[in-house]
Amino acid sequence: MTVNDRCKAVRQHANLSQRAFAERLSITGSSIALIETGKNNPSDQTLRLICQEFGISYAWLKEGKGEMLLPEDEDEAVNRIMLGGTDFQKALFRVMSRLPDSAWEELQRFAESLKKESGL
């Protein structure tokens, strides 16, 4: 797999069109098209932007070494998933992500009772 193929793989992993991917990097869509087709190679600056914006390993993107994604700590993951959420929403998300199955079952019963009481 070439660096061009790996750039395309990052875009596809992010589930973005070439245009949306380019916008996130502040470059033109045609630049991405040329990179993905192998007509142009990405500059080192572009590679670093991709890594920074999408949490990609530079060694993987540049040379195909190691894993594509950088490991995320819990705070980074919650902030990415809950982008724009309040501190309370993020804290609630953290708590809920750690619930055992039995607690989920109890939470489901509680939600169903709220639904009945509210007439939804």
> Tokens at residue 32, please?
């991405």
On whether the CB atoms of residues 41 and 7 are closer than 8 A, the answer is no
pLDDT in tens, 25-60: 999 999 999 999 999 999 999 999 999 899 899 999
Fold classified for 3-63: 434 Repressor (Amino-terminal Domain) (1.10.260)
Whether residue 65 is predicted with pLDDT greater than 90 in this model: the reply is: yes
What is the pLDDT, as a whole number, of residue 26?
94
Q: Is the pLDDT score of 63 beyond 80?
A: yes
**pLDDT band per the 50, 70, 90 thresholds, residue 84:** confident
Query: Looking at the chain, which residues constitute the CATH 1.10.260.40 domain(s)?
Result: 3-63
The pLDDT > 90 percentage for the chain reads 66
Cα distance between residue 101 and residue 78, in whole Å: 21
Answer yes or no: is pLDDT of 11 > 90. yes
Supply the pLDDT for residue 86. 92
Q: 42 to each of 35, 98, 110, 113, how far by Cα in Å?
A: 6, 41, 53, 56
Instruction: Determine the Cα–Cα distance for residues 18 and 3; give it in Å rounded to an integer.
Output: 16
pLDDT at residue 99, as a whole number: 86
